[in-house]
Chains A and B, each alone.
Chain A
Amino acid sequence: MTWKTFSGKPGGTVFAWQFRRSLPFTVLYWAAMLGVCFWPPYDRVGDRLVAIRGAMLVYAFLTPALQLGGCFSRPQADLVHALPVRREEYFWATLAASLVGLWLPVTPSLFLRELLCGFQSADIFPHIAAMLVMGTAALIFFTLAAVASGAYFEYALNSFLLTVAYPLLMVYLIFLAHNVIPGLRYSGFFDHFMRVAGSPPWAFAMYMQGDGGFGFVVVWHGLLALGLAGLAYRLYCRRPSEQSGMARRCQGMELFLRVELSLAAACFAGHGMDRIAWDFIPFPWGVPLALGAIILSIGGVWLATELFYHHSLRKLGRHWRPLALSLGVMAALLGALSTGLGLDTAMPAAEEIAAASMSMPEEVDYIRFAWSVELTDEPEEERQPWEERSDPLWPALTSPEGIEKIRALQQKIIQMERAIQFPYLPGRSSNWTEDSGFLEYSLVQGDDFWYNFSIRDTGAMPQRAQELAGEIKALQEEIFTSEDFINSLCPLNALDALDQVEKSPRLGAEGYTYVWSEGDRPRDTARKVSGFSKDFRQKLEAAMRADFSAGRFPTREELLKDEGQLYKLFYQRGVEFTAKGGAVNRRGAFTLPAAGQRMCLNPDPVSQTLLPFRVTWEMTETYALLEEEWNRPQKSAR
């Protein structure tokens, strides 16, 4: 079809008319798009990109107000709707004119930006496609808001409410789900999905080119654009012309916004009351309080929105639909969450698991940290560059018996949660005073599976739950002190790479924080292990085993003291050793049992440091051995 044929048809005529109508504004936008390629002069982490997206966003917001003026002004509606054009043709032609205006400068702007930044991005074409799709979704979103409004101020208000209420609803719904379903934890995909799906379409301005799952962002926005366009089209075709110039007349938008705001408030109230119950309210009173807060908030929003839309409460009874729908949807949501959605009992099969691990009590958790290693059996030419070698060696059980123990632990946790309260309801975590932890499964295919838990054995819990809590603690203790687990703890596992020992004063909280943020390096007073007795390593291993198997770990309480002294064990990068246990993740792709593998330590790729292992007097045998060696005359001091 030629332009002449197209522009001769009613739709083509509308397209040409609308495009020309908004041309002065569109030209401004094009100029702004090219202008922001030069500003700011120094492109820091995509500043120019954000500016380009900002310009697109402003265009996407203002264009529907301009081109769909017939929705907001009666004289315009008289002209437009009296034209011999079907509404559907008018709508699509108008949308097409807006989109063409939006799209045209995107590609040249991005190319110009890349040119000015020295073509740093290799994926410019996918990025252009992503920008076009996300900008389209944003423009259609605002078009829908315009079609559902009867006045300019209402368009701005609807856009604001839709963009605020939707992410609030999504965020607090997720929070509520986490409160209600035991064991639920963000997975990488879930986290990303919720971040994208929980954002209004205009939030594309915040996405960066390097964000993970960019393809998903594009697919989501593409589907969103199609859905919103269909909705806007239906709404426009059915929209009575007499709504033009009159605010708050779109019943569909009123119902949608009232329900959306009610649900967002309900999820917020449910989550808030659950958190209050966590700290202050004894079990099981958190449940009725949280449910009450949800119902009250829905009622409160219903009353407030009734005043906004109808200026009085006199006809409240006639406007029962938003209340009924909000209560119904909330009941359905809570009903679905109360079953756990299978997420509370989700557990990988034993044969899918390559390694399994668990958190330790908070005081000793840092001992569980993964250390960065490099497998030395790999031919040098096949190795990655030194800076990129960061395969983590981490404490985990890889034997079938060990894995089964972790799975058994999870089974007991699930039983405990169900014994406490089931079907799950908000507020169930009231008076949750015990420590939280997690189980971690590294799967054969390379993914990780996490399960959060909290052990509760306060007096208010049902008897069966308390019994199970006791069994869980005993099983945790059994796993901590098993030989497999002790072998996998990195200070023992990499003992052959131990290089220096330092006796140093404890620096309290300041020193503790320093360790985590920047690492620690041996000072002049540190001594080489080679200067200690000949069988020092063997004795140290035996002492560590004795301490760990007896449950003697350095505690945070001790580490935080600023009096007395402790020993720091410094491990040396590049020294080869044979791992005794644990698991190693190969290039982030899959997990291998580490026992028997030759490897050497690498500094952390981010901080470029090796953390020392700190021994307090609580590890009685290890500390005594170090005291003995430290006080013995040295063969050769450093």
Chain B
Amino acid sequence: MIECKQLTKRFGEKTALNQVDLQVQPGSIFGLVGSNGAGKSTLLRILAGVYRPEAGEALLDGQSPWENPSLKARVRLLADEFYAPGQDSLQRMGKTLSRFYPGWDPAYFERLCRMFPVEETARYSALSKGNRRQAGLILSLASRPDLLLLDEVFDGLDPVVRKLVKKLLAEEVAERNMTVVLASHNLREMEDFCDTLALLHKGGLVLERELDQMSLYLQRVQAVFPPQVDRAALAQKLCLASWESTGSLCTFVARGSREEVLAAVDSFSPSFRETLPLSLEEVFICEMEASGYDMENILG
């Protein structure tokens, strides 16, 4: 289990992470979202033992990863910009990394090399951006880590490979109980993939929820009310997160279970009403606005 307690990291005068408290359950896929500079990559690097926190602690199974080779042997970080020596091929890098990571699975490496469209004998410097990222993924997965830290992993991948990556990650989680922490600024990528999502903003943890719970208590409703019913009247019975109206058609998001919200709406005798699905992004925006954040600035 990953546990961050009051985790703080500063770069000179800038605070990249400010007293972050976080828990990630083993065998889950944890999504970290936030705008550029929110502290996502910093958090991943602390978990990988690359950075050392100034205050607080980040623990993996109760141990700090900093200068802890036995723990780091079970963790792989695939940073947003994967580096490999230019003259090395994927095969050569695999050979090198196999000596560092005891969990290295040569058969799985071979299998992955066949699955991804990357030439395993080509020099790394000759690979395209997308192929480099795939090479990094192959090397990370073949290490069979217990914890895989992925930073903007889907950037530069085509939809087919993206789907393949998601499938492979899901398999590893299901079969080996691997934990995945995924950082991205793209909420839509996480929507159908993560178990839990956390939003970081300016180094602080704004929100952390399980995906299932997130949309259960938010309902988007479209309805046509009698003319005397306005927003103020509705707000007396409903906890409104957002409100829009076009002519007589009102669209709003309200908090509560579907049944509770619809019962409240029906009490105003609408001539038409229906519930609509909410995207993850909308759920986030509602939650954030409810927390008093200016979402236009946060999500950019």
A pairs with B: yes
B100 with A10: CB separation less than 8 A? yes
Interface of A is mostly: helix
Give the number of residues in A that approach B within 8 Å (Cβ atoms). 25
Asked whether B50 is an interface residue with its Cβ less than 8 Å from the other chain, the reply is yes
Give the number of residues in B that approach A within 8 Å (Cβ atoms). 28
Known: A13-B99, A78-B77, A78-B79. A83 touches B85 (CB 8 A): no
B69 with A10: CB separation less than 8 A? yes
- Partner of A82 from the list B11, B70, B77 (CB cut-off 8 Å) is B77
Asked whether A17 is an interface residue with its Cβ less than 8 Å from the other chain, the reply is yes
Asked whether B110 is an interface residue with its Cβ less than 8 Å from the other chain, the reply is no
B69 with A84: CB separation less than 8 A? yes
A82 with B67: CB separation less than 8 A? no
Asked whether B217 is an interface residue with its Cβ less than 8 Å from the other chain, the reply is no
Asked whether B279 is an interface residue with its Cβ less than 8 Å from the other chain, the reply is no
Q: Scan residues 75-98 of chain B and give those whose CB is less than 8 A from a CB of chain A.
A: 75-77, 79, 81-85, 87, 96
Cα A77 to Cα B45 in complex, Å, equals: 10
Set of chain B residues within 8 Å of A17, measured between Cβ atoms: 96
Which chain A residue has the least Cβ–Cβ distance from B52?
Answer: A240
A151 to chain B, nearest CB (A): 16
Asked whether A241 is an interface residue with its Cβ less than 8 Å from the other chain, the reply is yes
Asked whether A1 is an interface residue with its Cβ less than 8 Å from the other chain, the reply is no
A85 with B100: CB separation less than 8 A? yes
Set of chain B residues within 8 Å of A7, measured between Cβ atoms: 99
Asked whether B203 is an interface residue with its Cβ less than 8 Å from the other chain, the reply is no
A79 with B83: CB separation less than 8 A? yes
Set of chain B residues within 8 Å of A241, measured between Cβ atoms: 45, 50-52
A82 with B76: CB separation less than 8 A? yes
Set of chain A residues within 8 Å of B52, measured between Cβ atoms: 240-241
Q: Scan residues 65-104 of chain A and give those whose CB is less than 8 A from a CB of chain B.
A: 73-79, 81-87
Set of chain B residues within 8 Å of A78, measured between Cβ atoms: 45, 48, 50, 77, 79, 81, 83
Set of chain A residues within 8 Å of B50, measured between Cβ atoms: 77-78, 81-82, 241
Known: A17-B96, A241-B50, A241-B51. A84 touches B83 (CB 8 A): no
A84 with B101: CB separation less than 8 A? yes
Asked whether B72 is an interface residue with its Cβ less than 8 Å from the other chain, the reply is yes
CB-defined A-B contacts under 8 Å, sample of 28 = A7-B99, A8-B99, A13-B96, A17-B96, A73-B83, A74-B81, A75-B79, A75-B81, A78-B45, A78-B79, A78-B81, A79-B84, A81-B48, A81-B49, A81-B50, A82-B48, A82-B49, A82-B50, A82-B75, A82-B77, A83-B72, A84-B70, A84-B73, A87-B67, A240-B52, A241-B50, A241-B52, A242-B11
Most B CB contacts (10 A, CB to CB) among A75, A81, A241, A249 go to A81
Asked whether A21 is an interface residue with its Cβ less than 8 Å from the other chain, the reply is yes
A residues at B contact (CB < 8 Å)? 7-8, 10, 13, 17, 21, 24, 73-79, 81-87, 240-242, 249
Cα A82 to Cα B100 in complex, Å, equals: 11
Cα A21 to Cα B70 in complex, Å, equals: 25
B83 with A75: CB separation less than 8 A? yes
A64 to chain B, nearest CB (A): 16
Cα A612 to Cα B87 in complex, Å, equals: 74
B72 with A82: CB separation less than 8 A? yes
B100 with A84: CB separation less than 8 A? yes
Set of chain A residues within 8 Å of B100, measured between Cβ atoms: 10, 13, 83-85
Which chain A residue has the least Cβ–Cβ distance from B85?
Answer: A21
Which chain A residue has the least Cβ–Cβ distance from B68?
Answer: A84
Which chain A residue has the least Cβ–Cβ distance from B99?
Answer: A13
Which chain A residue has the least Cβ–Cβ distance from B84?
Answer: A79
B12 to chain A, nearest CB (A): 8
Q: Scan residues 203-259 of chain B and give those whose CB is less than 8 A from a CB of chain A.
A: none
- Partner of A242 from the list B51, B71, B75, B83 (CB cut-off 8 Å) is B51
Cα A37 to Cα B51 in complex, Å, equals: 47
Cα A7 to Cα B99 in complex, Å, equals: 9
A80 to chain B, nearest CB (A): 8
B41 to chain A, nearest CB (A): 9
Which chain A residue has the least Cβ–Cβ distance from B16?
Answer: A242
B74 to chain A, nearest CB (A): 8
A75 to chain B, nearest CB (A): 4
Set of chain B residues within 8 Å of A73, measured between Cβ atoms: 83
If A78-B79, A79-B79, A82-B72 are given as contacts, then 19 extra A-B residue pairs at C-beta distance below 8 Å, sorted by A number, are: A13-B100, A17-B96, A74-B79, A74-B81, A75-B81, A77-B50, A78-B45, A78-B48, A78-B50, A81-B48, A81-B50, A82-B48, A82-B76, A83-B100, A85-B100, A86-B67, A87-B67, A241-B52, A249-B12
B89 to chain A, nearest CB (A): 13
10 closest A-B pairs by CB: A75-B83, A84-B73, A84-B72, A78-B79, A84-B69, A13-B99, A75-B81, A81-B50, A82-B48, A82-B77
Cα A76 to Cα B88 in complex, Å, equals: 14
Cα A242 to Cα B81 in complex, Å, equals: 15
Set of chain A residues within 8 Å of B71, measured between Cβ atoms: 84
Set of chain B residues within 8 Å of A79, measured between Cβ atoms: 79, 82-84
Cα A109 to Cα B11 in complex, Å, equals: 48
Known: A13-B99, A13-B100. A85 touches B69 (CB 8 A): yes
A240 to chain B, nearest CB (A): 7
Q: Scan residues 47-71 of chain B and give those whose CB is less than 8 A from a CB of chain A.
A: 48-52, 67, 69-71
Which chain A residue has the least Cβ–Cβ distance from B101?
Answer: A84
B72 to chain A, nearest CB (A): 4
Most B CB contacts (10 A, CB to CB) among A75, A77, A84, A241 go to A84
Most B CB contacts (10 A, CB to CB) among A81, A82, A242 go to A82
Which chain B residue has the least Cβ–Cβ distance from A246?
Answer: B11
Most A CB contacts (10 A, CB to CB) among B48, B50, B87, B101 go to B50
